[in-house]
Amino acid sequence: MLDKKMAAAINNHIQEEMYSFYLYLAMAEYGADKGLMGMRHWMRNQAMEEMGHVVRFMNYLEEKGAAVELKAIKAPPKSWKTPQLAFEEVYKHEVYITSCINNLVDLALSLKDHSTANLLNWFVGEQVEEEAGVKGVVDMINLTGNAPGGMFMVDRELAARPAAVDPLNPAAA
């Protein structure tokens, strides 16, 4: 049985992951609106990864006999001044999510909840990858400066990201 504090904290974190999903979908549509189909592809894949995180947390709660409590999700912004600022926001958001995961780890350790700590170890590693991946995109955009066609080249690179697995239908991959 999962401690009630831990179950509540995970349910709250599911809401954070759902907001991440929404945020990246909004950024995907912003990219599409700007004609940046690579950005759209990258952000949609990022959104699918976030939904995968939601499903992983939900499955864990169910396996531990705890109720899943879906909460309201605030609407994300609809536009950004530039694609660069959108990706910088992604980076800041992932740093925030890392702090949320770290708080969950701290709670699990304080409760001596080793099974939840084990689950969260995967997310700790995942956040290292998330931050590094988006930092690479921000750095790539920064390297282009104001070069004509710079964002076009970055967008082509973003389009090459492998497609994410649908977390609700992993057999389709």
Q: pTM of the prediction?
A: 0.93
- In this predicted model, what pLDDT tens digit does every residue of 156-168 receive, in sequence order? 999 998 887 777 7
**Residue 10: closest CA among 114, 110, 119:** 119
Q: What is the pLDDT of residue 146?
A: 80
| Percent of the chain surpassing pLDDT 90 | 90
Per-domain residue ranges of the chain: 4-160
Superfamily of domain 4-160 in CATH is Ferritin, core subunit, four-helix bundle (1.20.1260.10)
Question: How many other C-beta atoms are found inside a 10 Å radius of the C-beta of residue 42?
Answer: 27
Q: Can you tell me which residue has the tokens 């910088």?
A: 88
- In this predicted model, what pLDDT tens digit does every residue of 133-158 receive, in sequence order? 999 999 999 999 888 799 999 999 99
Average confidence (pLDDT) over 8-18:
98
What tokens does 148 get? 């004509």
Q: Residue 13 in contact with residue 108, Cβ under 8 Å?
A: no
Question: How many other C-beta atoms are found inside a 10 Å radius of the C-beta of residue 85?
Answer: 12
